């Protein structure tokens, strides 16, 4: 439940080592969040993350994005630790490589199961709790890669396209319940996950994404583009003839 000043009090981060996820949670703690669950596979190596979130009370839970059968129990565990969930942030995924996927279809299917399937099971489990308690926000980290899928990363992009559609549908399903979904669509994010890659036009930093998420939470937005100019850019890209689209640089 939000505190007496109306600020977020409890946060569940699924993917407790996520650079973007932790940046968002840090900002929520600065604004008054007092209890956090960091859910991560193995539950180890989180000492630095916990230190970053002081003075919040931080709990650690086991979370495996590739094991959907465990996700409802993880949500129950978070509720047992925190009570009502004000903000839930699924911040897990695999960027992967189209070149590797072309040579290894099994790896492609495995990563899609995490990037899409894991979010479906965790998102539905979290949404059920938010609907039951009558409030709370599920922050879904989508991507412009899913708005229109490019040949350069079409396996990753197709998973993000599925996630984006799922999140929009889930948001519609929650309408009127008091709970909501906020879809975040960043472009290329300069950070640990993309280290060594050449930044694309209209790139953003981890901090810029986190700041945009905070602004979206504060204003009750359902969709956040990062940077905002990508919304206009993709309004054009969506209608480009396919013959032109497939010739765009990789």
Nearest Cα to 98, choosing from 89, 107, 86? Answer: 107
Q: Identify whether 139 is part of a domain.
A: yes
Query: CB neighbours of 219 closer than 8 A, spacing ≥ 6?
Result: none
Number of folded domains that form the chain: 1
The CATH number of residue 142's host domain is 3.40.50.720
Which residues are annotated as catalytic? 156
Q: Identify whether 5 is part of a domain.
A: no
**Beta carbons of 180 and 171 less than 8 angstroms apart:** yes
**Beta carbons of 123 and 171 less than 8 angstroms apart:** no
What's the confidence (pLDDT) of residue 196? 77
Q: Identify whether 1 is part of a domain.
A: no
What's the confidence (pLDDT) of residue 4? 36
What's the confidence (pLDDT) of residue 250? 57
Q: Identify whether 39 is part of a domain.
A: yes
**What does the block give as tokens for 83?**
């009570």
What's the confidence (pLDDT) of residue 93? 95
**What does the block give as tokens for 213?**
């998420």
Q: Identify whether 3 is part of a domain.
A: no
What's the confidence (pLDDT) of residue 43? 66
**Beta carbons of 145 and 112 less than 8 angstroms apart:** no
Domain of 135 in residue numbering reads as 10-245
Q: Identify whether 50 is part of a domain.
A: yes
Q: Identify whether 147 is part of a domain.
A: yes
SS3 35: strand
Low-confidence ranges of the chain (pLDDT < 70): 1-6, 43-44, 249-250
Query: CB neighbours of 59 closer than 8 A, spacing ≥ 6?
Result: 35, 36, 37, 38, 81, 82
Q: Identify whether 222 is part of a domain.
A: yes
SS3 189: strand
pLDDT tens-digit series, residues 8-58: 999 999 999 999 999 999 999 999 999 999 999 986 679 999 999 999 999
**Beta carbons of 156 and 108 less than 8 angstroms apart:** no
**Cα–Cα distance between 228 and 16 in angstroms, integer?**
27
What's the confidence (pLDDT) of residue 75? 98
pTM score, whole prediction: 0.94
């Amino acid at each position: 439940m939000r505190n007496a000043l109306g600020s977020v009090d409890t946060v569940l981060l699924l993917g407790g080592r996520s650079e973007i996820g932790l940046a968002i949670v840090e900002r929520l703690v600065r604004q008054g969040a007092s209890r956090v669950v960091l859910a991560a596979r193995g539950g180890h190596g989180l000492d630095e993350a916990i230190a970053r979130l002081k003075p919040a009370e931080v709990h650690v839970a086991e979370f495996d994005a590739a094991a959907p059968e465990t996700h409802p129990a993880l949500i129950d565990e978070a509720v047992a630790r925190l009570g009502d969930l004000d903000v839930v942030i699924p911040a897990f995924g695999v960027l992967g490589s189209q070149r590797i996927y072309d040579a290894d279809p099994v790896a492609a299917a495995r990563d899609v199961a995490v990037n899409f399937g894991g979010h479906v099971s965790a998102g539905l489990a979290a949404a059920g709790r938010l609907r039951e308690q009558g409030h709370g926000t599920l922050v879904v980290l989508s991507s412009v890669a899913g708005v229109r899928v490019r040949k350069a990363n079409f396996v990753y992009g197709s998973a993000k396209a599925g996630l984006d559609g799922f999140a929009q549908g889930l948001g519609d399903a929650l309408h009127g319940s008091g709970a909501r979904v906020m879809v975040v669509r960043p472009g290329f994010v300069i950070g640990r996950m993309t280290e060594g890659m050449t930044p694309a036009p209209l790139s953003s930093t981890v901090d810029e994404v986190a700041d945009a998420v905070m602004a979206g939470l504060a204003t009750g937005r359902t969709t956040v583009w990062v940077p905002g100019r990508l919304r206009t850019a993709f309004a054009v890209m969506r209608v480009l003839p396919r013959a032109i689209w497939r010739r765009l640089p990789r």
